[in-house]
Structure 1
Amino acid sequence: MELKMELKTSFIAAAMLTTVTMLSACGSTATESNDPKVNSPMKETAMEAQDAFFKDFDAVEMQKYFREDYIQHNPHVPTGLAPALGFLPVLKDAGLTYKTHRLLEDGDFIIMHNTYDNAELFGAKEVVTFDVWRMQDGQVAEHWDAVSPVIKETASGRSQFDGPTLVTDTDKTQENKQLIADFMEDVFFGKAPEKISEYISTEQYDQHNTMVEDGLVGLNEALAFLESQNNMFDYQKVHRILGEGNFVLAQSEGRWNDKAQAFYDLFRIKDGKIVEHWDIIQEIPEQMAHDNGMF
């Protein structure tokens, strides 16, 4: 239900003028190194990589943190490190700033929930993103993302990124990931939708989708409306379920509004029930800047 984001002509023109392009995960102010979210060596490396690229705009430093054969899945960005290096002056001139609200680690993957200001190059002054990095030998090897404009007025009164940020219950990571896998199968794929209250708390369900009110009632009302409009989300494949402790992210693809879509759903889990949800839905274009696909 998020409004899809299209790159503005000004961005495309700037890219053509510089003959390069950029990663969607960008900014100029990263999570501080003493932030409690940065609680592992790999998370620290990830944030140092963000700083090298998007705070210092330092090509030499950046090459320490990004592999030469860096694989890109943002549909508008060519793959490889060289194009991104060439775009550093454009990033600097744009004056982008960013904030990492959530930072998760799952095996070789880093998951970031970011916002960006002065982001007109992305189609809006403020955007929100989910960024997934695959790390290899201390460097960023691969990148997936979903991007949306920040919407100020939402049905629940919550933003697309506020709420709890700290990882807890790390001993329950696998249990919580399995919960979301089962939830996706039963509810989103329609195997047993009547089980929805077995997954989502009936006491607390904080909603960050801009068009859905809080609570299980709010969700059911939104789904009923979509059904009445013959415009229900069609989840067709889950590509990854990644998470750490009480946070789990599902990367999926399917269709909505008669178009192919990438679905990113982040859930917070407490005592075995889903109590909070953030998401971004981004249209999958027919033509991409590479052959890697969005997943």
Structure 2
Amino acid sequence: MTPKELVLALFTAAFVDHDPEAARQLVTPDYIQHNPQVPTGADGLVGLIPLVADSGMTATTHRVITEGDLVVLHNTYDNADAFGAASLAAFDIFRVEDGKVAEHWDNLQPIPETTASGRGMTDGPTDITDRDRTAENKELVLGFVQDVLGGAAPQNAPNYMDPEVYMQHNPNLEDGLAGLLAGTQAWADQGFVITTFEPQIVVAEGNFVFVASDATVSGKPWAFFDLWRVEDGKIVEHWDVVSPTPSEMAHENGKF
């Protein structure tokens, strides 16, 4: 199986069919887990599956982004009260090694009833296009992350995007560069100041570029999982899942 096929088979076994043994066959025995609440190893994943089944939680995958041995799923979890909220938006990242799924990272965020832009956290285009432009789109997005989100040169924002054409799926931000800047300022006014923003995982396929970043917000660790869509050399759309990183975890692998 390709990495994409393998990851989708694992996701189906764990979250749709609720088949622990099928899931075990698809992962390495020393499966590395980064979800803060789930123990590491194949046993940690297998032990989670009955809890998912008993909770009635359902999962929907909206996008699949693949590059090399990494596969990103853009998911929604419903009936997920046992895991923190009725509905959760999530990015799940899997690393494949020698025909098995070897590692998993994720970020989850409750889905609000309304959003600033009127868009949902997971709706919008899903088709992957422009695969021949993957490398240049990745470079464009990483430049945007460094200059604009990381604060190295925010004045360069027009090099990466049309300030008026930035479709926003973050529930707290309005469209456009103005919406991004206003939202960032509003967050700072509430005491949330981003001082570091360091990409840890980057997965690009065609017009989609995903970046998982380790950040410091007012002195505390946060994780920002962002997905951008690029069109004709400009960033035009953004989705994200943001959460604080807990100080205590069910393993010693860290968030990243």
Alpha-carbon shift at residue 229 of structure 1 (Å) = 5.1
Whole-Å Cα distance in 2 between the matches of residues 85 and 231 of structure 1? 37
Report whether the alignment pairs 1:49 with 2:25: no
Whole-Å Cα distance in 2 between the matches of residues 62 and 269 of structure 1? 34
Aligned 8 A contact 1:189 1:235 in 2? yes
Alpha-carbon shift at residue 59 of structure 1 (Å) = 2.5
Amino acid in the other structure paired with 2:213: S
Amino acid in the other structure paired with 1:278: W
- Structure 2 unaligned runs (5+)? none
Q: Deviations over 1:165-208 (max 9, x none)?
A: 11111111111111111112211222211011111223421001
Whole-Å Cα distance in 2 between the matches of residues 68 and 131 of structure 1? 19
Matches within 5 A, 1:1-295: 41-228=2-189, 231-295=192-256
Amino acid in the other structure paired with 1:181: L
Match of 1:18 in 2: none
Aligned 8 A contact 1:205 1:216 in 2? yes
SS at match of 1:164: coil
**Compared with structure 1, are the counterparts of its residues 80 and 222 closer, same or farther at alpha carbon in structure 2 (3 Å cutoff)?**
same
Aligned 8 A contact 1:96 1:116 in 2? yes
Whole-Å Cα distance in 1 between the matches of residues 69 and 162 of structure 2? 31
**Compared with structure 1, are the counterparts of its residues 289 and 227 closer, same or farther at alpha carbon in structure 2 (3 Å cutoff)?**
closer
Amino acid in the other structure paired with 1:289: A
Aligned 8 A contact 1:235 1:252 in 2? no
**Compared with structure 1, are the counterparts of its residues 227 and 97 closer, same or farther at alpha carbon in structure 2 (3 Å cutoff)?**
closer
Amino acid in the other structure paired with 1:217: A
Whole-Å Cα distance in 2 between the matches of residues 136 and 177 of structure 1? 23
Q: Deviations over 1:144-181 (max 9, x none)?
A: 00000111200000011110011111111111111111
Aligned 8 A contact 1:119 1:126 in 2? yes
Aligned 8 A contact 2:134 2:207 in 1? yes
Whole-Å Cα distance in 2 between the matches of residues 226 and 57 of structure 1? 39
Aligned 8 A contact 2:195 2:218 in 1? no
Identity score, percent: 44
Whole-Å Cα distance in 1 between the matches of residues 153 and 123 of structure 2? 31
Give TM-score scaled by structure 2 length.
Answer: 0.94
Whole-Å Cα distance in 2 between the matches of residues 226 and 58 of structure 1? 42
Amino acid in the other structure paired with 2:139: Q
Say which structure is richer in strand.
Answer: 2
Whole-Å Cα distance in 2 between the matches of residues 63 and 227 of structure 1? 44
Alpha-carbon shift at residue 235 of structure 1 (Å) = 3.0
Whole-Å Cα distance in 2 between the matches of residues 147 and 230 of structure 1? 22
- Structure 1 unaligned runs (5+)? 1-39
**Compared with structure 1, are the counterparts of its residues 97 and 229 closer, same or farther at alpha carbon in structure 2 (3 Å cutoff)?**
closer
Whole-Å Cα distance in 2 between the matches of residues 203 and 225 of structure 1? 20
Whole-Å Cα distance in 2 between the matches of residues 246 and 178 of structure 1? 12
Aligned residues: 256
